[in-house]
Structure 1
Amino acid sequence: MDPASYHDLVTPRGIKYHYFYSAPAEGKPTVVFLHGFPSNALECWRHQVAFFVKQNYGVLAPDLLGYGGTDKPTDVASYAKSLMSADIISIMDKENINTKVYAIGHDWGCALTSGLATFYPSRFAGFAFLALGYLTPDPEFEINSFYASYKATAGHECFGYWHFFKEDGADKVIADHIDAFMNILYPHDAKSWFTDMAPRDKLKEWVVSDKRTPPPSYLTEADFARQKAELLKGGLAGPLCWYKQYATGAVLEDDKLAPKENYVIKQPVFFAATHEDYICVPKVALVSMKDVCPNLTVRDYQTDHWVQLAAPEKVNKDLLEWIESL
């Protein structure tokens, strides 16, 4: 990415964001890429940014809160979807991004995409969710009920690792065993998420035991080293707050703010179903999305969670075709 295309903005609540922006050619849409844990805009979306810039689309790819060149507060309340959604809108306003805008999220970026859909739906022409689906606001959210419901639909426990992530000092444990952590997070064998990440206590056991596997086929050793260095530089305390929003129930108050009339997404929605993902299980997302996303396009991928890295050509082609069909 061209260094001249990187910018900084302090939002009205005093948060500094670092972001990539390339303006669209006349008449072209703008895509807003929202990454997840534990990456940043460049590492997560490098294949998509390069592709859509070549298509003369506008491309906005911010380092989200806790990552990269953006501020990294460690209070969970700073990571409320309503607040982070307002931050993204502030960046869009700064760059005069107003028409034909598509928000595209992956992992926790899908939670923020969900926030934009419920708090600022009029600013977007469509929403895309990769791996994780649309998170409908739930003013009665209760974490143990969520765990149980998801397990019942998926057929196995999926979020056991959240118990580790919400522990005091988890960020330090991960930093002290960063290679083992990165090995399991970007798995050489997708099924290791089923055995060593989804069940409770298994991820912490893997990490502190310093287990190692080779990187997956879609990451080189250089990619792996670069991501590790970037994560260590910024620390894990901020990124783990995205999990604590849900694992501690803090999301409850934020979801109460979402207008009920916006629970159903009226714009077109794209969902990338990752069929070798043993945590963000596609059938669970689709159970809820079919009722709240009436204009839904689903594309299937035989990849693990990191679909935009593992199958970039297909993801790019499918997203482009979806946008241009609307």
Structure 2
Amino acid sequence: MSAGASSALLPLVDVPAPFNFSLFKDFSVSRGLNYHYYAVPADTGKPTLLFLHGFPSTSYDWRHQVAFFQDKGYGLLVLDMLGYGGTSKPLDPQLYVSSLVTRDIIDILDAEGIDKAVVVAHDWGSKTASRLANYFPERFHSYAFLAVGYITPTFFATPYEESLNLSKAVLGYENFGYWDFFSSEGADHTILKHLDSFWDIVYTKDTTKMITDWSPLGALEAFITNDTRIPPVDYVTPEERAIQMEVIRQGGLAAPLNWYKIARGTLEGQDDQGIPQENALIHNPIFFGAALRDYGPVAAIFLAGALAASDSSVTLHEYDSDHWVQMALPDEVNGDLLEWIEGLDLDA
């Protein structure tokens, strides 16, 4: 197996700056699936940063971080996660469980000759970063989580309905009620049919809409099927929106929604039973960037979790931001990440 220069485009339209088209690669991992990623070699003495995005995204989510860190000599591996962008899009949910996805990523590190990396993750990427810490702690210097923090090995052991009832009792709304819609038959077609409405609420300027029209059971499906339109955020330009939406249209959402199906059902919880007990705690430094106006994943829960998840140092930053903190406040986030990375003992 070898990683080769990619003939594909990512996004599946023209690749805009700061990405250098010649640095995209495609690689077939040990289970035969293709991963598409952006690879920048590190300068001597600099670590490689592994960026893991979430839903409904691609490596393009990290454009501000790519611009910042590649100019400073850091190595970069910026993946299209399984189901997204130029990466394979299998439709079998069982292929998305963490024990398999983390092995894919280790295959990529091996192909690139990277012994250890620093992980920077967001959204579902934070679940994968958590499992990299659980399964392969020897391959990572440290872990940065944005918006969504460390997800414990027992998180998915609680039945979905029980989690919904608990969140409604504590928060007053079912903060993961939208998983039910995302896991339902035909959800991908429904979203594509009403993509402008869906995009508006994914990037809503009024984040209280996440409480009323996103998180509760049935709310999101009703919102988009009514073709409701609301003002989106200002920090994503019309050109960037067009790029992101075109990638969704070309790749579809049937594969990306498998990340929800394994969490809504029992597949992820069963898979996590294979995590070694001694790796339930993270033994390397953690950075957690809390998005204080992200009302889906609740910042306070992950703040507490970050402190309890590690027997090493924990660096906490709170941002007056919605879910997309790396895009909303790139200068602030990049500066804080840089300070944290420069303070790591990378020889440890």
TM-score between the two structures when normalised by the length of structure 2: 0.91
Q: Which moved more, 1:249-258 or 1:143-152?
A: 143-152
Q: Confirm or deny that 1:131 pairs with 2:155.
A: no
Q: Against the structure 1 CA distance between its residues 234 and 151, is the aligned structure 2 distance closer, same or farther, given a 3 Å change threshold?
A: same
- SS in structure 2 at match of 1:272: strand
1:147 shift after superposition? 2.5
Match among 334, 337, 340 for residue 316 of structure 1: 334
1:121 shift after superposition? 0.6
**Which residue is 2:80 aligned to?**
63
Q: Confirm or deny that 1:29 pairs with 2:40.
A: no
**Which residue is 2:120 aligned to?**
104
Conservation of the 8 A alpha-carbon contact between 2:289 and 2:316: yes
Identity among equivalent positions (%) equals: 43
1:163 shift after superposition? 1.2
Alpha-carbon distance in structure 2 between the residues aligned to 1:216 and 1:181: 13
Conservation of the 8 A alpha-carbon contact between 2:52 and 2:122: yes
Alpha-carbon distance in structure 2 between the residues aligned to 1:108 and 1:288: 16
Q: Confirm or deny that 1:265 pairs with 2:268.
A: no
Show CA shifts across 1:52-106 (max 9, x none). Answer: 101100000010001000000111101001100011111110011113x111110
- SS in structure 1 at match of 2:222: helix
**Which residue is 2:221 aligned to?**
204
What are structure 2's unaligned runs of at least 5 residues?
A: 1-18
- SS in structure 2 at match of 1:17: strand
Alpha-carbon distance in structure 1 between the residues aligned to 2:75 and 2:109: 11
| Paired amino acid for 1:103 | V
What are structure 1's unaligned runs of at least 5 residues?
A: none
Count of residues in Structure 1 that have an aligned counterpart in Structure 2: 324
**Which residue is 2:129 aligned to?**
113
Q: Confirm or deny that 1:16 pairs with 2:34.
A: yes
1:242 shift after superposition? 0.4
Conservation of the 8 A alpha-carbon contact between 1:31 and 1:104: yes
1:152 shift after superposition? 4.5
| Paired amino acid for 2:104 | D
Q: Confirm or deny that 1:225 pairs with 2:242.
A: yes
Q: Which moved more, 1:217-226 or 1:267-276?
A: 217-226
| Paired amino acid for 2:179 | W
1:155 shift after superposition? 5.0
Q: Which moved more, 1:6-15 or 1:288-297?
A: 288-297
Alpha-carbon distance in structure 1 between the residues aligned to 2:125 and 2:165: 23
- Which structure 2 residues correspond to residues 146-157 of structure 1 after superposition, within 5 A? 146-154=163-171, 156-157=173-174
- SS in structure 1 at match of 2:256: helix
Alignment RMSD (CA, Å): 1.2
Conservation of the 8 A alpha-carbon contact between 2:98 and 2:128: yes
Conservation of the 8 A alpha-carbon contact between 2:201 and 2:232: no
Q: Confirm or deny that 1:167 pairs with 2:184.
A: yes
1:117 shift after superposition? 0.6
Alpha-carbon distance in structure 2 between the residues aligned to 1:319 and 1:146: 32
Match among 265, 278, 283 for residue 295 of structure 2: 278
